[in-house]
């Protein structure tokens, strides 16, 4: 337990350092954050492909790895939304993957190309929503709705489930209980309410954001419920992948915690929800 806590604290310190360097905006954009996200995406992409190799697939790993370069310019160049990223990365990787399949005379078959594309979308494109959120107005603060929403859901679900959990939720992850899921919902809602109050009292956020969310508890509760549910689905989805690949963890990067994908599985699913929520608020 002590080793797990120490590893977790080191991870938190690393992220705080990244956010501090990022807030200085040496190049007028979120360069340090994008670099950190690109590294995380690369590691998760590598872990996902490794899991698929356990089942006999041959993903085109170099192609998936190169996709992380799409993350670097977000918010630095004039990329207002993720539409350009989505419109580029998905058809491009499909085209290149199928071309490689044909040129190599089906050394990489359609299943291998499909796994390659899924890995790029799951571990790279989803991470791009983190950088896109960071690139928004007050994004350095809004980004914590993603991390806090996912991780508070996970923490509360774990402790509530361990304390009073009796009714098992899913065979995909036998340790998860209905009581733990409810605890996760509560944890995310509490975090959203408290964090929103802090931002509002500190005068952070635009007029639209204040009116639509920071001072609207009903909106915070509703989004907290949605985020927690999606966060838990993301966790179960990753558990399903590991069960399919017959592995315990995606890697041993974090002693006692598994790999990068084990830590980010919930965050990946939450990021698009938070991004589009605040993007729509910005249009009001």
pLDDT value of position 11: 62
Q: Among all chains, which residue has been given the structure tokens 């954001």?
A: 209
pLDDT tens string 75-116: 776 655 556 666 677 888 999 999 999 999 899 999 999 999
The vertex-146 CA angle with 46 and 253, nearest 5°, equals 30
Q: Show me where the domains of the chain are located.
A: 1-135, 139-284
Structure tokens of 15? 């992220």
Q: Tokens 């539409």 label which residue? A: 83
What is the sign, positive or negative, of the torsion defined by CA atoms of 209, 273, 222, 30? negative
What's the confidence (pLDDT) of residue 210? Answer: 87
Contacts of 77 (CB under 8 A, 6+ apart): none
Residue 204 has pLDDT above 60, yes or no: yes
Structure tokens at 43: 């590691």
* Polymer length in residues for the chain: 284
Q: What percentage of the chain reaches a pLDDT higher than 70? A: 86
Please give the backbone phi and psi of residue 24, each rounded to the nearest 5 degrees, phi first: -75, -25
pLDDT of residue 240 exceeding 70, the answer is yes
Rounded distance between C-alpha atoms, residue 207 and residue 230, angstroms: 28
Tokens 């078959």 correspond to: 109
Q: What is the pLDDT of residues 212-228, one digit of tens each?
A: 999 999 999 999 999 99
């Amino acid at each position: 337990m002590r080793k797990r806590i120490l590893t977790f604290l080191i991870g938190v310190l690393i992220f705080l350092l990244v956010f501090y360097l990022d807030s200085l905006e040496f190049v007028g954009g979120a360069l340090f954050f994008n670099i950190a996200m690109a590294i995380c995406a690369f590691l998760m992409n590598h872990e996902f492909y490794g899991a698929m190799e356990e089942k006999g697939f041959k993903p085109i790993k170099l192609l998936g790895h190169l996709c992380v370069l799409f993350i670097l310019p977000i918010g630095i160049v004039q990329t207002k939304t993720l539409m350009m990223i989505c419109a580029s990365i998905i058809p491009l990787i499909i085209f290149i993957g199928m071309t490689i399949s044909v040129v190599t005379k089906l050394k990489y078959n359609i299943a291998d190309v499909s796994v390659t594309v899924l890995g790029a979308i799951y571990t790279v494109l989803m991470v791009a929503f983190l950088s896109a959120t960071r690139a928004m107005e007050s994004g350095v603060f809004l980004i914590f709705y993603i991390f806090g929403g996912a991780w508070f859901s996970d923490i509360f679900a774990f402790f509530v489930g361990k304390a009073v959990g009796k009714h098992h939720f899913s065979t995909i992850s036998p340790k998860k209980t209905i009581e733990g899921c409810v605890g996760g919902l509560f944890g995310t809602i509490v975090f959203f309410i408290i964090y929103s109050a802090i931002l509002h009292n500190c005068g952070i956020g635009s007029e639209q954001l204040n009116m639509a969310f920071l001072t609207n508890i009903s909106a915070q509760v509703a989004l907290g419920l949605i985020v927690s549910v999606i966060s838990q689905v993301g966790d179960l989805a990753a558990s399903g992948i590991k069960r399919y690949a017959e592995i315990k963890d995606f890697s041993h990067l974090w002693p006692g915690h598994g790999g990068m994908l084990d830590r980010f599985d919930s965050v990946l699913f939450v990021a698009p929800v938070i991004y589009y929520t605040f993007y729509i608020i910005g249009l009001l």
